[in-house]
Amino acid sequence: MKIALYPGSFDPITIGHLDIIERSAKIFDKVVIAILINPRKTPSFSAEKRKEMIERSVTHLQNVEVVVSSDLAIEVAKAHDAKILIRGIRAVADYEYELQQATTNMALDEEIETLFLVARPEYSFLSSSVAKELARYHCNLTKILPEAIIEEIEEKFR
């Protein structure tokens, strides 16, 4: 079974994230979405709330699981028998950061590979930060967030 891990903070999940998840779910037998707890960040949503929002957004995907961890992505991958780390790339700046992460992970475990999926052009500007900023200004979020979570995000930033 080919298992991939898609790590991130997902604070909140965007349709750009969802696109990467859907594309990965077509490639791999199982995709584990790992909400990683970063002590240097102050998230807008608890890890459990983010997990719940992602699960509501991926109900149409039978081969996707969502987990929460405070471990390194490489350790979460090993714990779930994932041999691939999925990373989305929106721009050159993402690539530079992700390349550093990928080479660090190679040093930690050379059996786990990183696969970069390029964001579709219509999602290349999207990030959780952009989503939250637009929500604060009560913008239309239908082209930003999965439909399953829009109402909740709007309520939080009302």
- The catalytic site residues sit at 17, 41, 90, 128
Backbone phi and psi for residue 64, each to the nearest 5 degrees, phi listed first: -120, 135
Exposed e or buried b for every residue in 126-157, given b needs 16+ CB within 10 A? bbbeebbebbeeeeebeebbbebbbebbeeeb
Q: What is residue 71's DSSP assignment? A: S
Angle at 95 between CA 72 and CA 15, to 5 degrees: 80
